[in-house]
Structure 1
Amino acid sequence: MEPRNHGLKLMERNLVSLPVSSTTSEMEPNGTFSNNRNCTIENFKREFYPIVYLIIFVLGALGNGFSVYVFLQPYKKSTSVNVFMLNLAISDLLFTTTLPFRAHYYFRGSNWIFGDLACRIVSYSLYVNMYTSIYFLTVLSVVRFLATVHPFRLLHVTTIRSAWILCGIIWIFFMASSSVLLKTGSDIKGNITLCLELNPQKRDKLLIMNHVALVIGFLLPFFTLSICYLLIIRVLLKEEIPELSLRASHKKALITIIIALIIFLLCFLPYHTLRTLHLITWHMDSCGDGLHKAVVITLSLAAANCCINPFLYYFAGENFKNRLKTIFRKNHLQKTKTKCNFPICG
């Protein structure tokens, strides 16, 4: 009986030494429990996520923080476009504040030290940011399109009051619909604490959540954006626009939709495609390193949308460049006054 007991102890010891990340991360299984000891996904996440998240944090915080500052500066004329862009920048700025926590978590080998509440908020913030960003970009493109094709017929839709109401609806809807993620927090496994993880036994529930988010959160806005692009191209090809102001309006509308499409195709489409594929094909005993790593990369691309949005504000924002010039002019005047306070200026 002794050899048998010795064998059982060895098996128990081997099971304890297997990777503890036996869960699906957020909506995608970034780490899996596998008998294959050659899986490299955990090491890849530890090396890839911290660097990428910190780069996104620096660029996103600087770009969106400065954009919010510019949008909040008093100016003689404000538009609904600025309202949507301001809300988009605020969403991105709030999300970037969670990225250092994510970087720290993966740098420590998927070990969370910031408490259960912070874990829930960090997981929740990713999806609130992603889907509010998708809808702000879509609504922004639709408003640009309507203002170009039907500038007088739909003036009530593009008022500042209507823009704030619509932004409020978008915030409330996605904050409420994503609140299910607040129900799952950190999970203690041995001597480490997991976060951003969901139990693999909830895979069926995850699939339903994924399909709903895929259709409502991505496909519907993506098709809307594509239709706007095709229609505005059709308008630009059919009509000659003699007035300079109208040409500028059409140009800004086209730039807005093109940048939004680039963000969709680069950041959101790969992530939603691979997330869905991964959830459908994933099972406990497979390693799937190639697909796992692809999901990690596309999740980072989805997070990186907050670094691209400031380009949208600069190239397609209403009076954004003029606001920038005003800010720089004020700073220059203040520096001049400061220098002239010295006796040499007298």
Structure 2
Amino acid sequence: MDCLNGTLLSQLLPPVLISETLLGVLGNGLALWFFCFYLKPWRSSSVLLFNLALADFLLIVALPFRACYYLYGMNWKFGDTFCKINLFMLAMNRTGSIMFLMAIAVDRYVRVVHPHHRVNSLSVYKATCCAAGLWLVAISMTAHPVAMMRNNTSHCESFMVKTEFSFSLKWHRSVFVLSFWLPLTVILYCTVQIVVHLRRRKLAQDAKIRKALVFVTVVVVIFIICYLPSDVTQLLIWINVSEGCSGLLDLTTAFYITITLTYLNSMLNPIIYYLSSPSFEKIYRRTIKRVKSIKNQVADAAEAGDKARETGSESISQI
């Protein structure tokens, strides 16, 4: 592909994508299991967290095909239709994950700064309707990869370096950039307002308040680490696109490397679930205890089997 170091990407990205897939499926699959079978009763914030886990899980499902794509030297083996579906899944669930992170930050801001606001008493049904609205916005913003024309059917990419006008590509880049900077502004505003509010009321020493501060800080840190590098490189590509491929080779290669950090978000979001509610924390600890108990039982059984074999060997030697 033009303007890309395909050899480097084919060597570097497959192990990263496979690792993100395995850890993302484990973390978000476990989170979805908790939400569906253990987290009761649900609140409006639970609906937002569940949809965040769902968006992350659906994004992770698309990653093995990207790993195969790079393993085959950036040669797509699954057909044109599935390429468009795969690109749509990546774009939609990235945008959906960002929107639900923003919604979670706003929800926490309202609960801390405006505890008597009627939004805090939002029913689960209304929260579900709001989540459905966010999904519709994410889908409408990212449906364009399905209609994008692919001149080279062996490649499956939605970001092409072109100097001529392409409405679909410009829209794709605009959504990619704006879907980061606008939510980042909202998340930073919510975080600053929470900190100022708590310091003004001198509540920062309370355990629950400290946990709320840790929560919003983790949301900001995960958001910036995962999404900032790829958005900065995409902006630099957009600004310097007139230089042609010779001047953009390093930037475009860096973009495809940094975009894998956006998938890292799906691995890190389980930290947010853990910090979100005491019930989730209790369930998590209970599961860890069960796993340790099973390991101890297996170890005890193995030890008993070893002793039985040793006893049998001694009996045979005595005979």
In structure 2, C-alpha distance between the alignment counterparts of 1:99 and 1:203, rounded to whole Å: 30
Going by fraction, where is helix more abundant, 1 or 2?
2
Match 1:214 to one of 173, 177, 200: 177
Q: Say whether the 8 Å CA contact 1:263–1:308 is kept in structure 2.
A: yes
Q: Say whether the 8 Å CA contact 1:128–1:174 is kept in structure 2.
A: yes
Residue matched to 1:306: 266
Residue matched to 1:38: none
Q: Say whether the 8 Å CA contact 1:134–1:218 is kept in structure 2.
A: yes
Residue matched to 1:122: 86
In structure 2, C-alpha distance between the alignment counterparts of 1:265 and 1:75, rounded to whole Å: 29
Instruction: List runs of 5+ in structure 2 lacking aligned partners.
Output: 296-319
Q: Say whether the 8 Å CA contact 2:27–2:270 is kept in structure 1.
A: yes
Q: Say whether the 8 Å CA contact 1:119–1:186 is kept in structure 2.
A: no
Residue matched to 1:271: 230
User: Which residue identity lines up with residue 241 of structure 2 in the other structure?
Assistant: W
- TM-score normalised by the chain length of structure 2: 0.82
In structure 2, C-alpha distance between the alignment counterparts of 1:334 and 1:45, rounded to whole Å: 41
User: Which residue identity lines up with residue 279 of structure 1 in the other structure?
Assistant: W
Is 1:90–2:54 an aligned residue pair? Answer: yes
Cα distance, 1:76–1:46 mapped onto 2, change above 3 Å: closer
Figure out how many residues of one structure are paired with residues of the other and give that number.
Answer: 293
Deviation at 1:285, TM superposition (A): 4.3
User: Which residue identity lines up with residue 196 of structure 1 in the other structure?
Assistant: E
Residue matched to 1:260: 219
In structure 2, C-alpha distance between the alignment counterparts of 1:74 and 1:141, rounded to whole Å: 24
In structure 1, C-alpha distance between the alignment counterparts of 2:212 and 2:122, rounded to whole Å: 14
Q: Say whether the 8 Å CA contact 1:67–1:310 is kept in structure 2.
A: yes
Residue matched to 1:195: 156
Deviation at 1:157, TM superposition (A): 5.8
Percent identity between the two aligned chains: 27
In structure 2, C-alpha distance between the alignment counterparts of 1:265 and 1:49, rounded to whole Å: 21
User: What secondary structure is seen at the aligned counterpart in 1 of 2:37?
Assistant: coil
In structure 1, C-alpha distance between the alignment counterparts of 2:277 and 2:12, rounded to whole Å: 34
CA RMSD across the alignment: 2.8
Residue matched to 2:307: none
- TM-score normalised by the chain length of structure 1: 0.76
**Which structure 1 residue ranges, 4+ long, deviate > 4 Å from structure 2?**
185-189, 201-204, 325-335
Instruction: List runs of 5+ in structure 1 lacking aligned partners.
Output: 1-20, 23-29, 32-40, 336-346
User: What secondary structure is seen at the aligned counterpart in 2 of 1:319?
Assistant: helix
User: Which residue identity lines up with residue 143 of structure 1 in the other structure?
Assistant: D
Higher relative contact order (CA 8 A, sep 6+): 1
Deviation at 1:197, TM superposition (A): 4.5
Deviation at 1:180, TM superposition (A): 0.9
Q: Give the stretch that moved more between structures: 278-287 or 142-151.
A: 278-287
